[in-house]
Amino acid sequence: MTALLSTHALVARYGDFQALYGIDFEIEAGEVVALIGANGAGKSTLLKSIMGMLRVAPDMVRLEGQPVGGSQPHRMVSQGVAIVPEGRRLFTGMSVEDNLRVAIDHAAPTRAGGWTLDRVLDLFPMLREKRAVPVESLSGGQQQMVAIGRSLLNQPRVLLCDEISLGLAPKVVKEIYQSIPSISATGTAIVLVEQDVGLAQSASNRLYCMLEGRVTLSGKSSDITREAIGEAYFGGSHALA
Amino acid sequence: MTSMSDTVAPPLPTVHVRRQTRSGVIAMALGIAALVAVVAMPWWASQGVIRDVVELCCYIAIAQMWNLLGGYAGLVSVGQQTFIGVAAYFMFVMAQFWGVNPFVAVLLCVIAPAIVAVPTYGLLHRLDGPYFAIGTWVVAEVFRLGTSVFPYVNGGAGLSLRVMTQYSATERSIGISLLCGLLLLVTIGGSYWLLRSRYGLALAAMRDNPIAAASQGVNVGRLRFLIWVMAAVGTGLAGGIYFMAQLRITPPSTYSPSWANVAIFIVMVGGLGSIEGTLIGACIYFFADKWFAQYGATYLVVLGLLTLFVALFARGGVWGLICKVIDAPWFPTRRTLLEDRK
Amino acid sequence: MHWLDGLVQGILLGGLYAQYALGMALMFGVMRIVNITHGDLTVLLALIGISAAAYFSIGPWTVLVILVVLGGVIGWGLQRVILNRVVGADPLPSLIATFGLSVAMQNAMLQIWSADTRSLNGHGIEQLSFQVGPLFVGVLPIIVLITATVLTGGLDGVLRFTRFGRALRASAADVEAAAMTGVSPKSVYAGATAIAVAILGFAAVFQSLRTTVAPSDGPFQLIYAFEAVIIGGMGSIWGAFIGAMVLGVSQSIGFRIDPGFGILAGHLVFLAVLAVRPQGLLGR
């Protein structure tokens, strides 16, 4: 069965620097897959390659088997892939509602049971009273909610989340992660790039661990041991004996 | 457990840093020869040739100063004519009204652009790139308009350098040839010296990535300001020399935007950020002007389109294209690490 | 009365300058590009309009419609063919590219239309005026001011309330994030430039009705637009409008002090604002 989103021997470069050395990745509808690894492992690069922000060969990224690698980011959105970018990247100077409306304006074709402004505000109730407020004045957690809401309003079949817990208090992170199951329940596939290994494991069905541009471990989140993660995270040859 | 003493680092190779290349040595020799030829013009060149060479040297100087600003300091200016004008006017005032020896006046006139450079930078440096450029243009316009209504310098009617009549043609030729040589030495030689010094490294870093350069300790703001003032001085010196040869100034001729056009064309077509580019571009412009200016506006259309084309498709200019094929700099600034061979 | 007259005429002049400034504020706000051909495009449109009016015997308001549409097309084409290649963090390529194009355009227009100054036949509207107290106010300048106000308000409204306006503001805030949210940057840019040059269609008609137009006028319009945007404050559409008013009034009052001083007065006020309040009057 063809996966909803998959990468095949994905190679990516920043100029002369090679960041990814042949990544094989796949995700099905409704799955939550976590991507863990140390800084510089290539997790964000993988998401960016999928989203079209880096040039890759067309066949290396496939959506339902169709090659989409190297497409422009806005084309990926219209195909049903959305990203919650690292650092949120909200539109400063615009209100919360306007930020969300931009996504609505440019969403992929809506499926039945799609996201509406109301449903997003139901998901994150504390945004309701902040609709007209400029996004810069929100707290970090609220901004993250707006960022997620914005991506959801793109009506994605695959949602790429790049470090959504970064810089947030544990309580806030917990709140945000509580929304993940409701999102995947609608059939949306979610890729979670996450620094917090425990959080990644508990929130996902499967996980991949990356190191220096390669996948060092993959499997069901519930089956993988801490030791296996430790080896894959830091690399066996680097461990002090 | 492996012990530390089991791993021994291999011995480091002995290396040296090479800064000069063969092409650089050849170019240096040719350059010195050219400089001598310029200074010796009164003995081998006709008046017409001297006029042409002076003009070419001024173009080279002004273009190279623009090159330093735009190609290294990240300051794109379309108003360098401000400094040409204030220097030329100051020179005329000193020589004609204050009785200063005109050749000395040319050397002293750079004080004016140096002074003007300070407040103009203060006003403009907070503006974003393109707005900075137009701001420099506004400043030039302010000077042009102000000079036109300034009775001391005869307003719009301009001034003539009548004191030059007290010198014979030969004396004038010698004076201007020397000044030309000095101009080339200061602008081209000075640029090369600057680029080879540690400031050169800082400039190259600034050109590539100002933020990264600042993080490495380069004082970007101060360096930019220094380059701005130096470029003003170099441009002003060229202006003083050019108008001494012309013997006459008016506000529209000195503060003319076509100086900016010429500088931009020369540097962009020749090759931004390289001295070689300036020289190539100046020669291209000079000969194109000589041969095609008769076609008036059409010729300028071609110049404009050429600049557009270069900005879109060949940002490194002619020198950039040459560099893709062969690596033979005339003004080498790179440091190459070479291993000593036994 | 001298001063009041200067003030009123200045505000009316500001109405024209606002029409130059709006497009520039829009393009810089979204793309961080200053189009050096901004003024030359106005002159081009004006010359085309004048020639068309003479050749086809059409009135100024028909010319206006033609020029606004033509402006939109030219702007769209300019963006797609040239400016899209030079949008980016580095300001140099767009500056040099539009600079070269400006030189080419001015000289091409010189070849085609010669250096003669021309104006548009307004069939009498240039002379109409009415009296308000001790002042005589021209009908045309009032029309220009009203048009400028409507255009500014309209543009502001488009930015605030329409799909395109939101996409434009998002691209101005963070173009990469906008692309990730589904906005096509190239389309947004083309639209912005099309609107900017279409507005210049208005300016072209009013300028050629009000006074004469010559191929070399472009740089001056560019400078006035730029000064208006800086005085008013970048990032603000109404700022461009206010800045244009201030510039118009400065020039007008300066002109009344001494006819040779008018333009210079405008420059000096601009430099003063730059020295004292560099973020502009309405800038943050």
pLDDT value at residue A241? 47
Mean pLDDT computed over B228-238 = 96
B269 touches chain C (CB under 8 A): no
Structural tokens at position C11: 């505000």
Is residue C283 in some structural domain? no
Q: Where are the beta strands (DSSP E) in chain C?
A: 129-132, 135-138
Structure confidence at residue A51 (pLDDT): 94
Which positions in chain C touch A94 (Cβ < 8 Å)? Answer: 166, 169-170, 173
pLDDT tens digits, residue range B11-33? 887 888 777 888 888 888 888 88
Smallest Cβ–Cβ distance between C173 and the set A74, A82, A93 belongs to A93
The answer to whether A228 and A217 have CB atoms below 8 angstroms apart is yes
Q: Report yes or no: C166 at the A interface, CB cutoff 8 Å.
A: yes
- The Cα–Cα gap between C238 and B281 comes to 44
Q: B236 forms bridges with which residues in the sheet?
A: none
Q: Kindly tell me if the per-residue pLDDT of C225 is higher than 50.
A: yes
Instruction: State which amino acid sits at residue A166.
Output: L
Q: According to the model, what pLDDT value does residue B4 have?
A: 56
Interface contact flag, B128 C32, Cβ < 8 Å: yes
Average pLDDT over residues C262-270: 93
Q: For residue C175, give the chain A residue with the closest CA.
A: A91
Q: Is the pLDDT of residue C116 over 50?
A: yes
Please answer whether residues C124 and C230 qualify as being in contact, where contact means their C-beta atoms are separated by less than 8 angstroms.
no
The set of long-range contacts for B193-199, using a CB threshold of 8 Å and a minimum separation of 24, is B194/B68, B195/B275, B195/B331, B195/B333, B196/B19, B196/B333, B199/B223
Tokens 């220009």 locate to: C144
Q: How many CB atoms lie within 10 A of CB A69?
A: 21
Domain that holds residue A24: 5-238
B148 has a chain C CB within 8 A of its CB:
yes
3-state secondary structure of C136: strand
Residue B341 scores a pLDDT above 50:
yes
Residues in C touching B145 (Cβ below 8 Å): 260, 263-264, 267
Q: What band does C134 get if pLDDT is binned at 50, 70 and 90?
A: confident
C129 falls within a domain:
no
DSSP code per residue over B252-301: HHHS-THHHHHHHHHHHHH-TT-HHHHHHHHHHHHHHHHHHGGGTHHHHH
Going B29 to B35 to B41 to B42, the CA torsion angle's sign is negative
DSSP readout, B17-70?
Answer: EE---HHHHHHHHHHHHHHHHHHTHHHH--HHHHHHHHHHHHHHHHHHHHHIII
Q: Is B288 on the interface with C (CB under 8 A)?
A: no
pLDDT in tens, C78-110: 999 999 998 887 888 888 999 999 999 999 999
The complex's ipTM works out to 0.90
Question: Does C271 touch chain B if contact means CB atoms closer than 8 Å?
Answer: yes
Å between C159 CA and nearest CA of chain A = 11
C183 contacts A91? CB cut-off 8 A = no
B339 and B14 in contact (C-beta within 8 Å)?
A: yes
Mean per-residue pLDDT over chain C, rounded: 91
What length does chain C have?
284
Query: Residue A229 sits in a domain of what CATH number?
Result: 3.40.50.300
How many angstroms from the chain centroid is the CA of residue B270?
13
* Partner-chain contact B312 C82, CB within 8 Å: yes
For the stretch C17-64, pLDDT in tens is 999 999 999 998 888 888 999 999 999 999 999 999 989 988 889 999
Taking the C-alpha atoms of residue C29 and residue C222, their distance in angstroms, rounded to an integer, is 16
CA distances from B121 to B73, B77, B144, B232 (A): 13, 11, 18, 11
In angstroms, the CA B70 to CA C91 distance is: 10
State whether residue C159 sits within 8 Å of chain A by CB.
Answer: no
Q: Is residue C214 in some structural domain? A: yes
| Cβ–Cβ gap C181/A150 under 8 Å | yes
Chain B residues with CB under 8 Å of C85 CB are 312
**Spatial separation of the C-alpha atoms in residues C143 and C203, rounded to whole Å:** 12
Q: A-chain residues within 8 Å CB-CB of C165?
A: none
CATH number, position C44: 1.10.3470
Domain of C88, in residue numbers: 2-123+138-276
Contact C93 B312 (CB under 8 A): yes
State which H helix or E strand residue C44 sits in.
helix C38-56
Q: Which residue has the higher pLDDT, A110 or B324?
A: B324
**Is A162 within 8 Å of A193 (Cβ atoms)?**
yes
| 3-state SS track over chain A | CCCCEEEEEEEEEECCEEEEEEEEEEECCCCEEEEEECCCCCHHHHHHHHHCCCCCCHHHEEECCEECCCCCHHHHHHHCEEEECCCCCCCCCCEHHHHHHHHHHCCCCCCCCCCCHHHHHHHCHHHHHHCCCEHHHCCHHHHHHHHHHHHHCCCCCEEEEECCCCCCCHHHHHHHHHCHHHHHHCCCEEEEECCCHHHHHHHCCEEEEEECCEEEEEEECCCCCHHHHHHHHHCHHHCCC
Give the model's confidence band at C277: pLDDT under 50 very low, under 70 low, under 90 confident, else very high: confident
φ, ψ for residue B159, nearest 5 deg: -125, 155
Q: Domain total for chain A?
A: 1
Q: Measure the CA–CA gap between B114 and B122, rounded to whole angstroms.
A: 13
Which residue type sits at A180? Answer: I
Name chain C contacts of B69, Cβ cutoff 8 Å.
Answer: none
Give chains near B: 3+ CB pairs under 8 A.
Answer: C
Show residues of chain C in contact with A51, CB under 8 Å: 180
Say how far apart CA B238 and CA B80 lie, in whole Å. Answer: 11
**Nearest CB to B131 within list C85, C230, C263:** C230
User: Is residue C132 a part of any domain in this protein?
Assistant: no
Q: Chain C within 8 Å of B145 (Cβ-Cβ)?
A: yes
Read off the pLDDT of each residue in A210-233 and give the average, rounded to a whole number. Answer: 89
Please indicate if any CB of chain A lies within 8 Å of the CB of C183: yes
Q: What is the distance between the alpha carbons of residues C278 and C266, in angstroms, rounded to a whole number? A: 16
pTM (2 d.p.): 0.87
Residue pair B131/C223 in contact (Cβ under 8 Å)? The answer is no
B297 vs B91 pLDDT, higher one: B91
pLDDT for res C1: 55
Look at C182 and A103 and tell me if their CB atoms are within 8 Å. Answer: yes
Q: Does residue C154 belong to any structural domain of this protein?
A: yes
Query: Number of folded domains in chain C?
Result: 1
B312 and C111 in contact by Cβ < 8 A?
no
The answer to whether C163 and C33 are in contact (CB under 8 A) is no
Domain annotation covers residue C14? yes
Q: Is B299 exposed, middle or buried (0-12, 13-18, 19+ CB in 10 A)?
A: middle
Pairing of strands B159-160, B248-249: antiparallel
**Partner B contacted by C235 (CB < 8 A):** no
Q: Is residue C133 part of a domain?
A: no
CB proximity B162 to C under 8 Å: no
Q: Could you give the CA distance from residue C182 to residue A83 in angstroms, rounded to a whole number?
A: 10
Q: What sign does the CA torsion over B77, B80, B81, B86 have?
A: positive
| A98-124 pLDDT per residue, tens | 999 999 999 988 776 688 999 999 989
Let me know: does B17 contact B335? Beta carbons within 8 Å.
Answer: yes
Please give the DSSP secondary-structure letter assigned to residue C215.
Answer: G
The Cα B113–Cα B84 span in angstroms is 8
Which letter, b or e, does each residue of B78-100 get, where b requires 16 or more Cβ atoms within 10 Å of its Cβ? bbbbbbbbbbbbbbbbbbbeeeb
Question: What are the pLDDT digits (tens) for B173-209?
Answer: 999 999 999 999 999 999 998 888 888 888 888 877 7
Angstrom distance (rounded) from CA C5 to CA B46: 61
